[in-house]
Structure 1
């Protein structure tokens, strides 16, 4: 499936800002499930742009605007071919044993996915060593989608996971952090994925960057699960990067001098994903 993506971020400042530095993670990753055909990053006003690969292998662009400006626009355009996903064979939970020590960074707590009895909090049954791992992962995906309500107005990027658990409303980031907490507490290595979603009108979370989980299935590899939409991450999911949680893969973040009062600043983000299917 060929997807064309346009991601535009616009900052408006009431007073001139200068010496603006931003880390930009918008370049789709090249991997077996997808092929990146092209990528272009444009910045207004003119900026110094460099890049490097982060700890987890994502391409990060550094955008440095030296001149004074009251408007900053960062636009990324990409063409990506996504490929069909082959589902794993049955595998009992006990096969995770040796894989845990090699993937400890995706098992330990992090600031947005702290330690806690998340299986109990979210009402997830604890599987036994002979239970099938892929089946359990799909059941957990379905449980979160049925129990919680997608609501873009309910939470922000700073909303604690415990608050989402109490109120039951949130966005893809919250669904993903919830599933990460559950899986890690049960010893399943799991990582946060940032990317795009081709919706066609029937899927949730396509209006901005999307988030889902990748869980490790020994003998198969990492497979994506989207609890916001109760599905396996397949051809409609375009991956940018993965990490321990949202903070590792934030699409754009940075600093600047000036800009005036915070309440007078504006941020607009527009994401469009097209496909010829």
Structure 2
């Protein structure tokens, strides 16, 4: 499948910023499940640094802007060819060992309820495969947390989302990572794009899911918010210990007081007519 992405992040600052530095994890890395055909990031007026690959295999770019700056627009346009590998991450270049992801953050700390959920879910599965155990945890989170936007905050932890029983993709990912860690399974947070949801409607913001490390397979993605593994509707951007660590855009301001952010994302399947037009 060929997916066309248009992602705009519009920052507005209450008072002009003297200097702004951002780290962008906005460029997909090639792997067996995705191949970048074209990709462009436009940050008007900013100075860009070189793109480098970090230990997790993600592509990182730093941009800086001297003020006074009262607004900033980061625009991403690109096209990616995707392949359904049932969530298995293959041919992704990285050097960090899976064991490094046995560490929890504040967002993914397994409390007593998350540990109990992991124990109950895996009870009797001691002789089952590691993949089936991972699937069982993902199903348990999908059943325990109903997808409902507007009830949680960016700082909501996986434990808080489980207690509430409702949340968004970020909350599902944090809770799933926490239950995996409670079961001594390396797990990490992944950001990216999703072409459509369960109802077929286009997503208006970037998406998130979790990857659990399965011996013999490597990293396998689980999207508990949609009760599935990532397929050819997904584009993987980057990973980290939690949403903050894996954020597509992270920044430092000098002189600013507060900011507002408007995000608009569209991910569409490229039609055959579009492909024919480009070839002419």
Query: Do both proteins adopt the same fold according to a TM-score greater than 0.5, normalized to the shorter chain?
Result: yes
Structure 1 residues 153 and 146 mapped into 2: Cα distance closer, same or farther (>3 Å)? same
Q: Which residue of 2 aligns with 1:47?
A: 46
Q: Say whether 1:267 aligns with 2:266.
A: no
* Structure 2 portions without partners, runs of 5+: 89-96, 272-280
- Confirm or deny: 8 A CA contact 2:110 2:181 kept in the other structure: no
Per the normalisation by structure 1, the TM-score is: 0.86
Give me the CA root mean square deviation: 2.2
Render the CA deviation track for 1:98-125: whole Å, top value 9, x for unaligned.
xxxx522111222321243424146533
1:120 paired residue among 116, 119, 122: 116
**Separation in 2, partners of 1:3, 1:81:** 6
Q: Is residue 2:101 matched to residue 1:110?
A: no
Q: Distance in 2 between matches of 1:209 and 1:198?
A: 10
Distance 2:64 2:230 in 1: 34
Using the size of structure 2 for normalisation, the TM-score is: 0.85
Q: What are the ranges of 5 or more consecutive residues in structure 1 without an aligned counterpart?
A: 89-101
Residue 191 of structure 1 corresponds to 188
- Please tell me whether the aligned partners of residues 8 and 264 of structure 2 are also in contact (alpha carbons under 8 angstroms): yes
- Residues 230 and 66 of structure 1: is their aligned pair in 2 closer, same or farther, counting only changes over 3 Å? same
1:226 equivalent among 223, 228, 233: 223
Q: What SS does the aligned partner of 1:183 have?
A: helix
After TM superposition, list the pairs within 5 Å mapping 1:144-183 onto structure 2: 144-183=141-180
In the alignment, is the contact (CA less than 8 A) between 2:191 and 2:206 conserved in 1? yes
Q: Give the total of aligned pairs.
A: 260
CA 1:205/1:184 → structure 2, altered by over 3 Å: closer, same or farther?
Answer: farther
Q: Which moved more, 1:145-154 or 1:133-142?
A: 133-142
Cα distance between partner residues in 2 of 1:231 and 1:204 = 16
Distance 1:135 1:171 in 2: 24
